[in-house]
Structure 1
Amino acid sequence: MVDYIVVGLGLAGTAFCENLRRNNKTFVVFNDRSQTSSRVAGGLYNPVILKRFTLSWRADEQLPIATRFYSDLEELLDVRFDEKLSVFRKFASIEEQNLWFEAADKVKLKPYMDTSLTANENAALKAPFKFGKVLQTGKLNTNLLFDSYENWLRDNDKLMLDTFDYGEIQFEKDCITYQNIKAKHIVFTEGFGLMRNPYFNYLPMQGSKGEYIVIEAKELDESNIIKSSIFLIPLGNDLYKVGATYNRNQKDNITTEEAKNELVDKLKNLLDCSFTVVDHVAGMRPTVKDRRPLVGQHPKHKNLWVLNGFGSHGITIAPWAARSLYDYIESKIPLLPEMDITRFGEY
């Protein structure tokens, strides 16, 4: 008998498991690594939407919780996967500079936007109109995070590297039986894999395919994250991750030449040096039609829960939303209506 079964181990699953561990709840995790979006993504956390110079949804609430969460997780796992890097937004014109200053003067954006423009001192970058620096930003090495957390779960007999079989759930009076495990609750944190879940696939997840390339550029020598029409993310050893594309029509993790060429073309508008593409990856973001998370209780089966739909902001949303769901289950503290799945009506 355990308190929880957690299905999936991306950002949502990891964050929810940590709430369970810290509150001395017993749990087991099922993970088959079929969902890759958090592993292939850039791993950035950034509170400002840099296309429009607006604050990401509730980022001022989420970022402090996320920062503390990842720091504590580094201590637990004895690894360092959180790298504090600056994000520099390339300006395309004087007009964009003025829009930056207008946004930086707003109360909620002031803590995150430097009002001193940064001149371009890198001859390998094309940036004649300077940069705006975003504050409180960085990059997670998500592969190191997930591999380390999987090892911790395995060492503590909490990990099942199996595909979860929904047909084997048996509903009993006060609990659920799955194979030889009895649990009070099952929490599904499956990312885009939710579309295969017969209990929650009625929810309007759209999904957005994102592709990244990795380049080697020996002349670039850039240690900051650069944002133009794409993100340029330093990985060390002259390697940089570049992305990402957004495709709502393709629903797979297969890389395409079309996306690769799109990223290369955009990169040529940013770089004034040679580069070589050395890798190309793709993943499905769990995006929702109203751009809000999918969190809550199944309308019929009260022991089933969902924690999903973070889109491209999972690093900051996951710790905050996971805490919200845990507090709802254990303490009946209501969820925010804008992320509660009851907003989509009946099952």
Structure 2
Amino acid sequence: MKQVDYIIVGCGLASIAFCEKLRANNKAFIVFDDSSQQSSIVAAGLYNPVILKRFSEVWRAKEQLEIALPVYNKIEADLNIKIDYKLQILRRFASVEEQNLWFDASDKPKLEPYLSTDLIKNSNAAIDAPFGFGEVLHTGRIDTETLIDAYKGFLNENNHLLETRFKHDQLQIKSGSLQYEDMIANHIVFAEGFGVKQNPYFNFIPLNGTKGEVLTIKAPELKIEYAIKSSVFVIPVGNDLYTVGSTYNRDDKSNTPTQKGINELLSKLRTFVKCDFEIVHHVAGIRPTVKDRRPLVGKHPEHKNLYVLNGLGTRGVMIAPYVAEKLFNFIENNEALDSEINIDRFLGQE
């Protein structure tokens, strides 16, 4: 029998952040991942403390950034990779009214550190932005695809990864421990994203799931080194390539890219990008979204050694290290979980 402190199911952003807590505290662990969930892979990876649709603060943005960025910087150093790219984000204004709303928001104490009061005029002929841009401060992009690929390789090299499906019906819950095949573990953390719907222990949590589709385009004439948020995001990723996203579909629960998704993204993109481009990649995934827009973290109501780490929604790169730290401290240090993220808030509801 192999003895570990933790079994982790899933290897997306939430799982990686939790693994980092385990590594920092010298815990023995094994990760199961069958690559069935793609929400982390299709994530744009932006860390941005402002909700740009309505100019309001992201929930606990300051706390999240203070925890998240050192985690990614340590991963860069340990794995000798580059994943954290400081990136200017510009919000395209559609009218004078939007400009005024921006400046009103910049006076609010929680938003003042993040919203520049300098109006940026457009000088790029490939962009239609007659009302200019507002700049969001303290922003960047985590290359989630490189992060996940490199981290899986790192786990594999150190005998921490099993690239196979976790069979929930093979888990034996014993007094004080868990057994799965030839492993004994003290705890198991399910970080399966939308895959939790197939988990018999946590399929009661109200994870809705929202499909997102993302394009990669090649646009040699666009020549921007900043991200633009308009009706869609346009994010430079190098070599004249740009990520364009994203769609929000609450009905389709498949990872299959669709022509409808392409049409929606292109229709919105062409309202402000005026140069030629070609589509070079198209992906889709199900984001683990929750109706109250808060993560789903906590302990099974009956089995004390079973935990869930889920519901990161559309801002996984910011939220993952924050909730991973909260769950670790809950398990290891008996620190109470905030009621806003604790799954207990949904227990007993119909």
Q: Which residue of 1 aligns with 2:220?
A: 218
Q: Is 1:299–1:346's contact at 8 Å kept on the other side of the alignment?
A: no
The residue identity in structure 2 corresponding to 1:138 is G
Q: Which residue of 1 aligns with 2:246?
A: 244
Paired residues, what number? Answer: 347
User: Which residue of 297, 313, 316 corresponds with 2:315?
Assistant: 313
TM-score of the superposition, structure 2-length normalised? 0.98
Q: Which residue of 1 aligns with 2:185?
A: 183
Farther off after superposition, 224-233 or 143-152: 143-152
Deviation of 1:27 after TM superposition, in Å, equals 0.5
TM-score of the superposition, structure 1-length normalised? 0.99
SS of structure 2 residue aligned to 1:6: strand
Tell me whether 1:140 sits opposite 2:150 in the alignment: no
User: Which residue of 269, 272, 281 corresponds with 1:270?
Assistant: 272
Q: Is 1:168–1:178's contact at 8 Å kept on the other side of the alignment?
A: yes
Q: In 2, distance between residues paired with 1:327 and 1:65?
A: 14
The residue identity in structure 1 corresponding to 2:8 is V
Deviations along 1:45-83, one digit per CA (max 9) or x if unpaired, are 111000000001111111111111111111111111111
Q: In 2, distance between residues paired with 1:194 and 1:139?
A: 27
Q: In 1, distance between residues paired with 2:143 and 2:293?
A: 25
Q: In 1, distance between residues paired with 2:190 and 2:183?
A: 16
Structure-to-structure mapping, 1:285-296, within 5 angstroms: 285-296=287-298
User: Which residue of 210, 229, 235 corresponds with 2:237?
Assistant: 235
Percent of pairs with identical residues: 54
SS of structure 2 residue aligned to 1:112: coil
Root-mean-square deviation (CA, aligned residues, Å) is 0.9
Structure-to-structure mapping, 1:120-199, within 5 angstroms: 120-199=122-201
Deviations along 1:118-139, one digit per CA (max 9) or x if unpaired, are 1111110000001000011111
Q: In 2, distance between residues paired with 1:147 and 1:214?
A: 18
Q: Which residue of 1 aligns with 2:109?
A: 107
User: Which consecutive segments of 4 or more residues in structure 1 shift more than 2 A?
Assistant: none
Q: Is 1:60–1:108's contact at 8 Å kept on the other side of the alignment?
A: no
Q: Mind listing any 5+ residue stretches in structure 1 that lack a counterpart?
A: none
The residue identity in structure 1 corresponding to 2:74 is D
Deviation of 1:346 after TM superposition, in Å, equals 4.1
The residue identity in structure 2 corresponding to 1:132 is G
SS of structure 2 residue aligned to 1:329: helix
Q: Which residue of 1 aligns with 2:61?
A: 59
Structure-to-structure mapping, 1:27-38, within 5 angstroms: 27-38=29-40
Q: In 2, distance between residues paired with 1:102 and 1:208?
A: 31
The residue identity in structure 1 corresponding to 2:72 is Y
Q: Mind listing any 5+ residue stretches in structure 2 that lack a counterpart?
A: none
Deviations along 1:129-176, one digit per CA (max 9) or x if unpaired, are 010000111111111111111111111111101100001001111100
